[in-house]
């Protein structure tokens, strides 16, 4: 398997924790951590397998670190790339916009031709609406530190096992 | 997708980016500097910092077109107004309340930036009530088929106000070109938005409204804000319907300088709102995408510091308003009748009922001035015209564009009159404020606001409106169909209050109202609409000047000063006294309460030495208290007895006729009081 990039902001708290957990589950040598705060298109496009992580902020927004990279993303040809997403959100505090950030990012990547992998079931989450929903699945892995933090480990590990197959 | 939108960090031309960066930098320098003026006791005692709203405020100002649009900014909209074209000097003059303040010469609270000359309207501190005004002017834009939109901006919490719902409902129903911008910073002072409404995004509360588009954007992001407002504007213009844009913002600082947000926000939050500073984001983008170098941006930042320095100097040197000016611009000069200079006539035709006098005068004035409009509940039907038929036949003659029904939303009726009259100074609006004076209370907010406009703008905006109300009792109407509310209304500077009691005066006063600039409150004694005793001959062109009382009966021994329904009761009492007691009573019908014919009152008092003030409203705190005080103050030496008053008891008006009779003044009560007084 080719090296996988985990792209996220190094300045985050919880997103960083999940990124580390994912990295551990793959094994250190399988992944490279990439900071979205200063990544260049060239660095991003170096990878064919990417995992992008984002929380949702401010009632359904992509955090600045991703938002500021979007104009670059929008000029990229991502066909042939496999991208998996993980998103952080709070289903109790923000049930109207649960994991929207992951959904926004997914829309952009898909529009640029990326093949999205790592969809997960929405079962086990309670919310009103989510921009990350695709049918009865989330476009990526949903993590909720605030209300379901105890499930993080199991969710991440299960997801990584699935990704190992999808990232062939 | 996003990249197809008009503005983008990669493609927007450098000049535009530079203009934005200049404005945003200038705005933040002023925003950050404002508290210093208070610390140094110079002024700006109210400052609501906008930091965190930068994207959306820049965008509002940029989409505003001063040639065609109307803008209603709120107290946090400093960057909005700068971006719309105000200068740093103008911001500072307003901040420190100088005479040069273009909003209104320091009359309005600081941080209420405006420039009426460009239709950047001077709005209230009453959170969100300018939505009604924005909708009103939107109605005018539509009626006059002029290009342009009306833009209204406010915080998310004030959307809770009932009038905001009325305004949005009206804009949706009338399909008006209004852009409602909701700047969502999550708080109303210290109250988190979850305490306002169940949804996180209040704009979505309006999702069920027809003819209305709702757009959400990131108000912290310049590009998303610009693109969303451009899209909103396009939608309004193409679809001819209103749009709400809810912009996600952060409030980086406290609500205002009288708030301490550390008391209710933790360090985590205080930190992340700073991290999401929209100006810092814009700057990062300019550098990351190599549109500007750090040196270039630093040069602009230095230049803006100089701009602020110069503006500060100008502000410090600017004159304060003069204390002598306080009485200027309370009301504009009224129309002054040339023919009937004292508001009397010698015409001898067939008597006309009061209701007919109103109806015919309205029609005559609508023929005379094509920029006249009337609306209210129930005013416009083919065969009907108002529940009392005062406006009968008007829609038929003048059409639906000028004569139309309003929703049961009195605040909306009056608030949109205020707004519509901002379109131009020729417009004259007759608003049937409510079906009964009793139902005017929901409109009080809009009314009070309208009384302030002329003064607050230092004469730059005159709401030219006549509010008509079917008033008073004597019809067995009970608590909610008998009220007469002039006692309350007359406590507000900025409105003329008239209250005719005969058909000719009703016609003459209405004509003068409709030809005058300013706000008029026109009370109609509905018990007299069809009463033969109120019917008189009415000259076609009759006019009654404001502030001219009319002596309806001359006398020597006692003056009855009255208006409205009780004019007739006084005349009956005077007649009786003359027949039974041989005394001669003068009956003066004030006709106008504001302005008041002081001269006539004092002349009558000086002649008779005895005064009985009679009105239908409650004696306690009624308008008569003011008259009594005036007379004792200015004609004490001429008085031969106490100034007496007859009016209602200090109770509501009961429905049962026995109760009503016990409460309202009648001829007997007036007779008793007059005879007592004559004994002195
Ligand atoms: C101001 C604020 C707004 C938020 N808005 C949302 C939201 O709209 N939807 C959601 O699912 N989670 C929302 N969250 C929850 C965050 O996504 C969650 O706390 C996440 O774990 C933060 O990750 P980070 O520390 O890596 O940024 C919000 C959190 C904050 C503080
Ligand atoms: C009618 C009215 N009620 C209350 C107030 C007091 N007040 C001033 S600002 C404010 C909060 C408004 O919050 P929001 O609309 O969210 O705007 P923000 O100040 O947060 O930008 C309140 C309650 C007022 N000015 N007017």
**How confident is chain A (168 residues) per 10-residue block, as mean pLDDT?**
92 97 93 96 97 98 97 96 98 97 98 98 98 97 98 97 92
Which residue lies with its CA nearest to atom 14 of ligand 2? B155
Compute the distance between CA of residue B450 and CA of residue B132 in angstroms, rounded to an integer. Answer: 11
What are the residues facing B586 on neighbouring strands?
A: B559
- Quick check: B4 pLDDT over 90? no
Please report the pLDDT score of residue B3 as a whole number: 62
Residues of B in contact with A67 (CB under 8 A): 218, 221
- DSSP 8-state class, residue B518: S
Please check whether residues B595 and B524 belong to one and the same domain.
Answer: no
Report whether B45 contacts B110 (CB < 8 A): yes
- Quick check: B380 pLDDT over 90? no
pLDDT tens readout for residues B119-170? 999 999 999 999 999 999 999 999 999 999 999 999 999 999 999 999 999 9
Query: Which of B197, B227, B288, B291 to probe the A interface (max A CBs under 10 A)?
Result: B288
What are the residues facing B679 on neighbouring strands?
A: none
Report whether B121 contacts B418 (CB < 8 A): no
Please check whether residues B23 and B66 belong to one and the same domain.
Answer: yes
Report whether B150 contacts B134 (CB < 8 A): yes
- Quick check: B513 pLDDT over 50? yes
Please check whether residues B107 and B236 belong to one and the same domain.
Answer: yes
User: Residue B587 burial (CB < 10 Å; 0-12/13-18/19+)?
Assistant: buried
Give Cβ neighbours of residue B551 (< 8 Å, ≥ 6 apart): B586, B587, B588, B589, B600, B604
**Of B508, B534, B560, at which residue does a domain stop?**
B534
Strand pairing report for B496-498 and B550-553: unpaired
Residue contact B218–A96, C-beta within 8 A: no
Q: Name the closest residue on chain B to residue A39, using Cα atoms.
A: B288
Report whether A125 contacts A142 (CB < 8 A): yes
Task: Count A/B contacts: CB-CB distance under 8 Å.
Answer: 43
With respect to residue B653, please indicate whether it lies within any of the assigned structural domains: yes
Give me the residue label for tokens 């719309």: B84
Report whether A12 contacts A54 (CB < 8 A): no
Report whether B629 contacts B601 (CB < 8 A): no
Q: Indicate if ipTM > 0.85.
A: yes
Q: Is A15 in the pocket of ligand 1 (CB under 6 A)?
A: yes
**Is the bond preceding residue A137 a cis peptide, omega within 30 degrees?**
no
pLDDT tens readout for residues B58-84? 999 999 999 999 999 999 999 999 999
Please check whether residues B359 and B455 belong to one and the same domain.
Answer: yes
Sign of CA dihedral B78, B84, B87, B88: positive
Q: Name the closest residue on chain A to residue B7, using Cα atoms.
A: A71
**What's chain A's length in residues?**
168
The two tokens of residue B654 are 């009961």
- Quick check: B249 pLDDT over 80? yes
Please report the pLDDT score of residue B384 as a whole number: 74
Report whether B390 contacts B355 (CB < 8 A): yes
How far CA B30 is from CA of B318, B390, B555, in Å, comes to: 17, 54, 67
Please check whether residues B167 and B35 belong to one and the same domain.
Answer: yes
N-term to C-term CA, chain B: 89
- Whether A107 contacts chain B with CB within 8 A: yes
Residues of A in contact with B216 (CB under 8 A): 60
Cα radius of gyration (chain B): 29
Produce one character per residue of A85-98: b if its CB has 16 or more CB atoms within 10 Å, e if not: bbbbbbbeebbbbb
Please check whether residues B43 and B120 belong to one and the same domain.
Answer: yes
Nearest CA of chain B to the CA of A33: how many Å? 21
Please report the pLDDT score of residue A168 as a whole number: 74
Report whether A53 contacts A86 (CB < 8 A): yes
The two tokens of residue A168 are 């062939």
The two tokens of residue B310 are 């110069």
The three-class DSSP label of residue B137 is: helix
Please check whether residues B477 and B593 belong to one and the same domain.
Answer: no
Report whether B625 contacts B593 (CB < 8 A): no
Compute the distance between CA of residue B598 and CA of residue B594 in angstroms, rounded to an integer. Answer: 10
pTM of the predicted model as reported, rounded to 2 decimal places: 0.97
Please report the pLDDT score of residue B387 as a whole number: 78
The number of angstroms, rounded, from the C-alpha of A165 to the middle of its chain's C-alpha atoms is 17
Taking alpha carbons only, the member of B115, B104, B151 closest to residue B454 is B104
Q: Name the closest residue on chain A to residue B9, using Cα atoms.
A: A71
- DSSP 8-state class, residue B654: P
Please check whether residues B560 and B524 belong to one and the same domain.
Answer: no
Residue contact B10–A71, C-beta within 8 A: yes
Nearest CA of chain B to the CA of A65: how many Å? 10
Q: Please provide residue B53's backbone torsions phi and psi, each rounded to the nearest 5 degrees.
A: -110, 15
The three-class DSSP label of residue B102 is: coil
Please check whether residues B554 and B530 belong to one and the same domain.
Answer: no
Domain span at B88? 14-318
B383 band by pLDDT with thresholds 50, 70 and 90: confident
Please check whether residues B304 and B412 belong to one and the same domain.
Answer: no
**Residues enclosing ligand 2, CB less than 6 A?**
B 48, 76, 125-127, 154-158, 183, 185, 187-189, 255
Taking alpha carbons only, the member of A57, A21, A59, A15 closest to residue A36 is A15
Number of domains in chain B: 3
Compute the distance between CA of residue B574 and CA of residue B558 in angstroms, rounded to an integer. Answer: 9
Please report the pLDDT score of residue A28 as a whole number: 79
Catalytic residue list contains B481: yes
Q: Please provide residue A29's backbone torsions phi and psi, each rounded to the nearest 5 degrees.
A: -75, -15
Q: Which atom of ligand 2 is nearest to the CA of B125?
A: 25
With respect to residue B541, please indicate whether it lies within any of the assigned structural domains: no
Give me the residue label for tokens 């009206």: B170
Q: Is A119 in the pocket of ligand 1 (CB under 6 A)?
A: no
Distance from Cα B401 to the centre of ligand 1, integer Å = 50
Nearest CA of chain B to the CA of A85: how many Å? 19
CATH code assigned at B37: 3.40.50.970
Give the ligand at the shortest distance from the Cα of B112. Answer: 2
Neighbours of B306 (CB within 10 A): 9
**Of B534, B563, B586, at which residue does a domain stop?**
B534
Please check whether residues B443 and B470 belong to one and the same domain.
Answer: yes
pLDDT tens readout for residues B573-614? 999 999 999 999 999 999 999 999 999 999 999 999 999 999
Give Cβ neighbours of residue B11 (< 8 Å, ≥ 6 apart): none
Residue window 15-74, chain A: list those with CB within 8 Å of chain B.
57-61, 64, 67-68, 70-71, 74
Give the CATH class of A4-166. alpha beta
The number of angstroms, rounded, from the C-alpha of B149 to the middle of its chain's C-alpha atoms is 20
Q: Name the closest residue on chain B to residue A75, using Cα atoms.
A: B3
Report whether A117 contacts A137 (CB < 8 A): no
**Of B271, B296, B318, at which residue does a domain stop?**
B318
**Is the bond preceding residue A123 a cis peptide, omega within 30 degrees?**
no
Which residue lies with its CA nearest to atom 12 of ligand 2? B188
DSSP H helical segments within B433-556, as ranges? 444-456, 486-489, 503-515
Please report the pLDDT score of residue B2 as a whole number: 60
Strand pairing report for A49-55 and B644-648: unpaired
With respect to residue B645, please indicate whether it lies within any of the assigned structural domains: yes
Compute the distance between CA of residue B472 and CA of residue B145 in angstroms, rounded to an integer. Answer: 40
CATH code assigned at B619: 3.40.50.920
Q: What is the mean pLDDT of residues B231-256?
A: 98
Residues of B in contact with A68 (CB under 8 A): 281, 284-285, 288
Please report the pLDDT score of residue B1 as a whole number: 42
- Quick check: B42 pLDDT over 90? yes
* B112 backbone φψ class: left, alpha, beta (φ>0; ψ -120 to 50): beta
What are the residues facing B585 on neighbouring strands?
A: B558
The two tokens of residue A58 are 């401010």
Report whether B47 contacts B35 (CB < 8 A): yes
Please check whether residues B175 and B283 belong to one and the same domain.
Answer: yes
Produce one character per residue of B266-284: b if its CB has 16 or more CB atoms within 10 Å, e if not: eeeeeeebeebbbbebbbe
How far CA B45 is from CA of B42, B51, B189, B348, in Å, comes to: 9, 18, 16, 62
């Amino acid at each position: 398997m080719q090296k996988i990039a985990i792209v996220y902001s190094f300045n985050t708290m919880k997103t960083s924790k999940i990124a580390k957990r994912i990295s551990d589950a793959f094994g250190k040598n399988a992944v490279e951590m990439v900071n979205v705060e200063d990544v260049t298109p060239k660095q991003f496009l170096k990878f064919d397998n990417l995992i992008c992580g984002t929380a949702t902020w401010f009632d359904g927004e992509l955090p600045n670190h991703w938002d500021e990279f979007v104009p670059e993303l929008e000029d990229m040809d991502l066909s042939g790339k496999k991208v998996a997403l993980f998103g952080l959100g709070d289903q109790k505090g923000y049930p109207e916009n649960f994991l929207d950030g992951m959904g926004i990012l997914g829309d952009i990547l898909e529009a640029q031709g990326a093949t999205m992998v790592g969809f997960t079931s929405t079962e086990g989450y309670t919310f009103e609406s989510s921009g990350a929903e695709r049918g009865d699945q989330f476009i990526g892995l949903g993590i909720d530190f605030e209300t379901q933090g105890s499930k993080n480990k199991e969710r991440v590990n299960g997801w990584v096992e699935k990704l190992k197959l999808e990232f062939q | 997708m996003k990249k197809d939108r008009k503005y983008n960090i990669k493609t927007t031309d450098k000049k535009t980016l530079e203009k934005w960066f200049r404005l945003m930098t200038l705005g933040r320098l002023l925003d950050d500097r404002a508290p210093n003026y208070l610390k140094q006791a110079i002024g700006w005692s109210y400052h609501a910092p906008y930091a965190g709203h930068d994207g959306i405020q820049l965008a509002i100002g940029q989409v505003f077109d001063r040639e065609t649009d109307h803008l209603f900014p709120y107290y946090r909209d400093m960057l909005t107004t700068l971006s719309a074209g105000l200068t740093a000097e103008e911001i500072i003059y307003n901040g420190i309340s100088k005479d040069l303040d273009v909003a209104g010469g320091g009359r309005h609270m600081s941080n209420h930036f405006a420039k009426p000359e460009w239709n950047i309207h001077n709005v209230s501190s009453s959170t969100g009530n300018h939505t009604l005004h924005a909708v009103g002017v939107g109605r005018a834009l539509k009626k006059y088929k002029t290009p342009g939109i009306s833009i209204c901006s406010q915080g998310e919490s004030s959307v809770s106000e009932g009038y905001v719902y009325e305004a949005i409902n009206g804009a949706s129903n009338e399909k008006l070109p209004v852009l409602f911008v909701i700047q969502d910073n999550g708080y109303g002072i210290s109250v988190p938005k979850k305490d306002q409404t169940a949804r996180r995004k209040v704009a979505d509360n309006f999702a069920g409204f027809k003819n209305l588009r709702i757009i959400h954007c990131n108000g912290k992001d310049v590009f998303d804000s610009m693109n969303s407002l451009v899209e909103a504007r396009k939608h309004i213009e193409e679809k001819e319907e209103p749009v709400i844009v809810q912009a996600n913002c952060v409030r980086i600082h406290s609500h205002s300088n009288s708030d301490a947000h550390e008391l209710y926000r933790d360090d985590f939050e205080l930190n992340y709102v700073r991290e999401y500073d929209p100006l810092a984001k814009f700057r990062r983008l300019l550098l990351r995408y190599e549109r500007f170098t750090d040196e270039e941006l630093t040069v602009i930042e230095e230049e803006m510091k100089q701009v602020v320095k110069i503006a500060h100097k100008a502000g410090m040197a600017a004159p304060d308003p003069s204390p002598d000016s306080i009485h200027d611009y309370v009301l504009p000069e009224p129309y002054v009748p040339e023919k009937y200079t004292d508001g009397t006539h010698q015409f001898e035709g067939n008597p006309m009922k009061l209701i007919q006098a109103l109806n015919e005068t309205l029609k005559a004035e609508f023929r005379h001035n094509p920029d006249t409009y009337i609306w209210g509940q129930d005013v416009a039907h083919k065969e009907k015209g108002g529940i009392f038929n005062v406006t009968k036949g008007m829609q038929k003659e003048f059409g639906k564009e000028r004569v139309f029904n309003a929703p049961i939303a009195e605040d909306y009726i009056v608030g949109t009159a205020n707004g519509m009259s901002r379109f131009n100074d020729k417009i004259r609006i007759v608003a049937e404020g409510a079906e009964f004076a009793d139902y005017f209370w929901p409109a009080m907010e809009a009314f009070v606001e309208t009384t302030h406009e002329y003064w607050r703008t230092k004469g730059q905006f005159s709401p030219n409106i006549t509010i008509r109300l079917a008033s008073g009792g004597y019809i067995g109407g009970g608590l909610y169909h008998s009220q007469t509310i002039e006692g309350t209304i007359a406590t507000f500077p900025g409105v003329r209050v008239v209250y005719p009691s005969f058909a000719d005066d009703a016609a003459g006063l209405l004509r003068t109202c409709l030809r005058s600039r300013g706000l008029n409150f026109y009370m109609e004694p509905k018990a007299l609409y069809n009463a033969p005793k109120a019917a008189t001959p009415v000259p076609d062109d009759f006019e009654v000047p404001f502030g001219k009382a009319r002596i309806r009966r001359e006398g020597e021994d006692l003056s009855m000063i009255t208006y409205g329904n009780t004019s007739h009761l006084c005349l009956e009492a005077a007649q009786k006294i003359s027949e039974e007691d041989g005394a001669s009573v003068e009956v003066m019908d004030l006709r106008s309460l504001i302005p008041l014919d002081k001269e006539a009152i004092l002349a009558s008092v000086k002649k008779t030495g005895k005064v009985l003030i009679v009105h239908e409203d409650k004696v306690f705190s009624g308008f008569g208290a003011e008259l009594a005080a005036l007379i004792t103050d200015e004609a004490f030496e001429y008085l031969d007895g106490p100034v007496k008053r007859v009016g209602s008891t200090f109770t509501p008006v009961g429905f049962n006729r026995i109760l009503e009779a016990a409460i309202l003044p009648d001829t007997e009560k007036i007779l008793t009081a007059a005879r007592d007084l004559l004994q002195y």
